[in-house]
Amino acid sequence: MPAKKTSAKAAKKPAAKKAPAKKAAAKKKAAPKRAKMFKKILIANRGEIACRVIKTAKQMGIKTVAVYSEADRDALHVLQADEAYCIGPAASSESYLRVDKIMEVIKKSKAEAVHPGYGFLSENAEFCRKLKREGIAFIGPNELAIKAMGDKIESKKLAEKAGVSTVPGYTKALKDYAEAKKVANNVGYPVMLKASAGGGGKGMRVCENDADLKEAFVSAVREAKSSFGDDRVFIEKFIVNPRHIEIQVMADQHGNVVYLNERECSIQRRHQKVIEEAPSPFIDPETRKAMGEESVALAKAVKYVSAGTVEFIVDQEKNFYFLEMNTRLQVEHPVTEYITGLDLVEMMIRVAAGQKLPIKQEDVKLEGWSIESRVYAEDPFRNFLPSIGRLSRYKAPEGEGVRVDTGVYEGGEISMHYDPMIAKLVTYGADRDLAIKAMSHALDGYYIRGVQHNIPFLSALMNHDRFIKGNLSTGFIAEEYPDGFHASDVVHDDPSILVAVAGCMHFAYQARAAAISGQQAGHEREVANEWVAAVGKKHVPMHVVDVEGGFDVTLDARGFTKNTIEVRSNWQLAEPVFKGTVNGTEVIIQCDRLAVGYRLLHAGSEAEIRVLSANSAALFKLMPVKLPPDTSKLLMSPMPGLLLSVSVEAGQEVKAGEELAVIEAMKMENVLRAEIDGTIKEVAAKPGDSLAVDQVILSFE
């Protein structure tokens, strides 16, 4: 039916009388316009955070688009998304950081919004601006907030203006070492060199004196330029024995801002967070409220929208000082989700779609305790050097109060091109002790083979008396492991547990072999009860008895109990994880069957145990020990990576501690130094070479 025409005369008639303003406002409030939800979003990231966003999007009924590099063609986030597009070669600069390529995929896929995750383009104001110009929603803050908080120098000035407590320091970019030295002496050592555009610990150096500063300045500037394309660095006073505590904020487009309690992230190595927890064992309600209110004030000052984190350094008297604001979702957001019951990714998506926050400040809960451990592909016994390769076996722990955010799967590849994180392991308990206990059990059951990983180190932290007491600081790792992390740091409290479990496993395998051979007449045999466990040079006689629900094991050797050890478990042959009880205490032990014996891993410790008959044990003692080759006069690459520089030449004399070479691997620079005084015989590699593990760089006379 055609629309009714209106005459010119009718058009001049006076308009209908307007309703009173109050009634009109009430009517508008009673029937608010509902924000339209996205039908499809693109995740401009990779790995576990891309998988994390996909999970929530699917729960909300939103289709997802993944982007990937050629190296990530078979990555988990690619398999999980509804659509996936290749955007370039392995190098991030040619793929995940290419705004133009991602914009092309947005147009092809007709995505309505982009979630940037963290890292890569998550705090790129130009990317945010381009999305806005194309009418694409950015699931994060606006470009002005990103710019304001992305520059550490400017953000500190804004924080001061907003009434937020800040660290004493010099907020101008340093021109050269001479100026840095002058400023450092005015501020007073120790000081912290920081990249203005930095984050993730890159471009940061603690300096105790002028000599430290001279070396650190060059390195910090170079790393800042390489990581962020911005070589500006500045200086702050370094707070002694500080705690790193951050406040999670969430804001909508309607001016509402709430803080979602705090997280403690004091356990760090090289300024990279290792363990995070919520709440903090140090913060009281009054300090929490003060930190939260200052964080909200800062967010409002920059008209912040979406999830953000205000990071503070806190001294032993609970004085807190602003460090920076991360204008994105944090790696450690799951611990906040556990104690508040909120899905931060869902809130980010809804806020980006124009919806109001579903809660007010008084609605924010704080229930229970949550801990997150970052599981990395790195070797803690070799100074945490990155490890790459294929995950030949991968089985993550499961159970109530256990969460694993990951971007890998069994058979997948850990690439040298990206961050070496395997997963974030998160546990929850009614209190801190229960959360720690849950984490210890979850780490015991996390089965990873094919690459080295830092689970032994994480287990050691969970069982460390100082950590259990909550006596934390950002110097925790350096103070407790000043000479690095070694196998001696994870000696098992009760090795008889491992010996007993190895005996039970061996009995089970022997019983199966006896049952198979007994199927043929004349080949029946009984399983012996007497065995000898060889643990290093120690031989432990044991008596193993099969009982209902498990085994009874009696050990007889100095240093081991002579009492009967009750082992109860429903473990089946070939299972990689042994779950059960030993003398009534719950244990989770990883077990690999070797050619002769078993490798057991528990509470961060590892033991190879051979279970032998008495005759075999006697012969075993006579076997010669093969010595490893002498590599004391070689400098070999401890990891696969790019050789950035060689600081010496043939014939040069060097002193212990002197820099020899610098290798870049997984976005981090690693300086190799001389361990003893010596003379360089030959330099076998040159800058620009791609090095394999144990490749010779140079030799000594």
| Dist CA 85 CA 78 (whole Å) | 8
Cβ atoms of 40 and 64 within 8 Å: the answer is yes
Residue in 659, 661, 666, 674 with CA at minimum distance from that of residue 641: 666
With 0-12 / 13-18 / 19 or more C-beta atoms within 10 angstroms meaning exposed / middle / buried, residue 414 is buried
| Structural tokens at position 674 | 């001389």
Q: Find out whether the peptide bond into 420 is cis, omega within 30 degrees of 0.
A: no
Q: Are 582 and 567 in contact (CB under 8 A)?
A: yes
All residues at 6 or more sequence positions from 85 whose CB lies less than 8 Å from its CB, including other chains: 65, 66, 67, 68, 105, 108, 109
Could you list the beta-strand ranges (E) of 305-437.
306-314, 320-326, 369-376, 378-379, 385-386, 389-390, 393-395, 402-406, 413-414, 421-429
Say if residues 422 and 389 touch (Cβ distance below 8 Å). Answer: no
Which backbone phi and psi does 318 adopt, to 5 degrees? 70, 20
CA distance 296 to 249: 7
State the CB neighbour count (10 A cutoff) for residue 681. 14
DSSP 3-state of 292: helix
In this structure, the chain runs to a length of: 701
Q: Distance between CA 257 and CA 302 in Å, rounded?
A: 12
Structure tokens at 340: 């508040």
Q: Which helix (H) or strand (E) holds 523?
A: none
Instruction: Match 């006069």 to its residue by tokens.
Output: 633
Separation between Cα atoms, residue 348 and residue 647, nearest integer Å: 48
Q: Considering only CA atoms, which of 665, 695, 599 is closest in space to residue 416?
A: 665
Q: Which of 223, 324, 378, 669 is catalytic?
A: 324
Active site residue 324: yes
Instruction: Return d(Cα 174, Cα 193) in angstroms, integer.
Output: 10
Tell me how far apart the alpha carbons of residues 233 and 151 are, in angstroms, rounded to a whole number. 11
81 in Cβ contact with 66 (< 8 Å):
yes
CB count in 10 Å sphere of residue 483:
6
If residue 299 lies in a helix (H) or strand (E), which one and from where to where?
helix 285-301
Q: Which helix (H) or strand (E) holds 622?
A: helix 614-622
Catalytic residues: 324
